[in-house]
Amino acid sequence: MKNHEGSAAQARIAPKFINGMDVSFLDEIEQGGGTFSDQGAQEDCMVIMKNNGVNSIRLRIWNEPAGGYCNLERTLLMARRIKDLGLHFLLDFHYSDKWADPGQQSKPAAWAELGYNELKAAVYQYTREVLEALQAQGTLPDMVQVGNEITPGMLWDDGKVDGDEYNNDAQWERFSGLVKSGINACKDVDAAINVMVHIDRGGDNASSIAFYDRFEQLGVRFDTIGLSFYPWWHGTLEDLKHNLNDLAERYGKEVIVVETAYPWTLDKTAGHTFVMEKEELLHEGYPATPEGQTKYLRDFITIVKETAGGLGAGFYWWEPSWIPCKQEWSVGHENNWSNLTMFDFEGRKLPSLKF
């Protein structure tokens, strides 16, 4: 155990700049027969990523997902692979049995009937149990998200702050109390864990300020600001640049764009369905081609690196490996992300992956 603790503490030294990938689907992809290659040579996807400059991996964790992936058991297996490769590790707690995002922040079924104080205790206990299980095998995360895209709150309706009925001081107190419980659990396991609070408003400065001002007023103590930025939802790269600079100067915290992506094709002749499918939603100057995707990433990285005060700490590409290797997925819907990956439909590396 002493050796494990020492290696974990050493691993929590973050890269100077995070070139990160969220590979939460990778476990299921591999089980479904998906394979990956770099210049014709088939290889473990995370090995390909590391060989091409990736230095951090992000995983989501759900409490009791119906599909059996992204739970604690599978997270332990994936975390061992991440650390065996010497990579930095970010764990993203959704505090749900399924997707948690601005449109849905549903409680885990096991917590559905808990009162507010019981819910706070459950957040603390669950967070601590997960982290201690990872710590016990020497794979403690270097960074932890307490919630995923929690702009409208989390664990609805107790922690909901979205809409006229819920956007009030009492609800913000309840919401922040839930987040504080998760943060306290992280720090009680290991004070060196970097705790991120993640919202989805990468290009929306006014909304970002409104959220983080509230958390500052409510005494939510965390380390890193996390933003999602998808140009078709969140604005232009110029909007992102303005927001990153303002948040860094305003709060003096490191900022990570913890989710981004851009299409390498809009061609649906193979029968795939895409969440980003309209040419008019493309960012000006960046066509939906492998070259356009690469240009987007290069310019995006430059903006993050040039954030005021050197506080742009990195980024994560969301689901670079979610290739369409099967029809049915554990999440209950089809893969609509396969044109936003860094591998083509057959799992061959695209040029954007080479940093």
For the stretch 250-270, pLDDT in tens is 999 999 999 999 999 999 998
Each residue of 82-97: b (16+ CB within 10 Å) or e? bbebebbbbbbbbbbb
For the stretch 221-239, pLDDT in tens is 999 999 999 999 999 999 9
pLDDT for 10 beyond 50 = no
For the stretch 142-165, pLDDT in tens is 999 999 999 999 999 999 999 999
> What's CA 86's distance to the chain center, in Å?
19
Q: How confident is the model at residue 7 (pLDDT cuts 50, 70, 90)?
A: very low
Rounded to 5 degrees, what are φ and ψ at 335? -80, 110
Residue with tokens 């989390």: 154
The CA distances from residue 252 to 202, 216, 226, 231, 307, in Å, are 17, 12, 13, 25, 11
pLDDT for 215 beyond 60 = yes
Element (H, E) at 129: helix 116-136
Q: Residue 333's closest CA among 62, 45, 66, 59?
A: 66
CA atoms within 13 A on the CB side of 169: 2
**Residues 336 and 42 sit within 8 Å (Cβ to Cβ):** no
How large a percentage of the chain has pLDDT more than 90? 95
Q: Which tokens in the block code for residue 142?
A: 């270097």
- In this prediction, residues 72-96 reach a mean pLDDT of 98
- In this prediction, residues 46-53 reach a mean pLDDT of 98
- In this prediction, residues 50-70 reach a mean pLDDT of 97
Longest dimension (CA), the chain: 57
- Note whether residue 4 is domain-resident: no
**Residues 266 and 279 sit within 8 Å (Cβ to Cβ):** yes
> What's CA 109's distance to the chain center, in Å?
23
Q: How confident is the model at residue 141 (pLDDT cuts 50, 70, 90)?
A: very high
CA atoms within 13 A on the CB side of 285: 10
Beta strands 41-42 and 312-318 are unpaired
| Per-residue confidence (pLDDT) for residue 283, from 0 to 100 | 98
Domain count across the chain: 1
- In this prediction, residues 48-72 reach a mean pLDDT of 97
C-alpha to C-alpha distance for 211 and 222, rounded to whole angstroms: 14
pLDDT for 244 beyond 70 = yes
| Per-residue confidence (pLDDT) for residue 136, from 0 to 100 | 98
Q: Which tokens in the block code for residue 263?
A: 């299409």
Domain containing residue 279: CATH number:
3.20.20.80
Domain that holds residue 149: 19-318
Q: Is 216 a catalytic residue?
A: no
Q: Which tokens in the block code for residue 187?
A: 């720090």
| Per-residue confidence (pLDDT) for residue 186, from 0 to 100 | 98
C-alpha to C-alpha distance for 341 and 322, rounded to whole angstroms: 6
C-alpha to C-alpha distance for 239 and 246, rounded to whole angstroms: 11
- Note whether residue 337 is domain-resident: no
Residue 38: strand, helix, or coil: strand
- In this prediction, residues 83-101 reach a mean pLDDT of 98
Please pick, among 30, 216, 249, 259, the residue that the annotation labels catalytic. 259
Q: Residue 119's closest CA among 73, 54, 175, 163?
A: 175
Taking the CB of residue 308, how many other CB atoms lie within 10 A of it?
16
Residues 6+ apart with CB under 8 A from 10: none
pLDDT for 187 beyond 90 = yes
- In this prediction, residues 78-106 reach a mean pLDDT of 98
For residue 190, the one-letter residue type is: D
Beta strands 41-42 and 37-38 are antiparallel
- Note whether residue 336 is domain-resident: no
- Note whether residue 354 is domain-resident: no
For the stretch 320-342, pLDDT in tens is 999 999 999 999 999 999 999 99
Q: How far apart are the first and last CA of the chain?
A: 36
- Note whether residue 137 is domain-resident: yes
- Note whether residue 34 is domain-resident: yes
Please pick, among 149, 291, 319, 346, the residue that the annotation labels catalytic. 149
Q: Is 73 a catalytic residue?
A: no
For the stretch 21-32, pLDDT in tens is 999 999 999 999
- Note whether residue 259 is domain-resident: yes
- Note whether residue 326 is domain-resident: no
Angle 290-305/237-251 helices, nearest 10 degrees?
A: 20
Q: How confident is the model at residue 14 (pLDDT cuts 50, 70, 90)?
A: confident
For the stretch 289-316, pLDDT in tens is 999 999 999 999 999 999 999 999 999 9
pLDDT for 114 beyond 50 = yes
Q: Residue 185's closest CA among 147, 224, 228?
A: 147
| Per-residue confidence (pLDDT) for residue 11, from 0 to 100 | 42
| Per-residue confidence (pLDDT) for residue 120, from 0 to 100 | 98
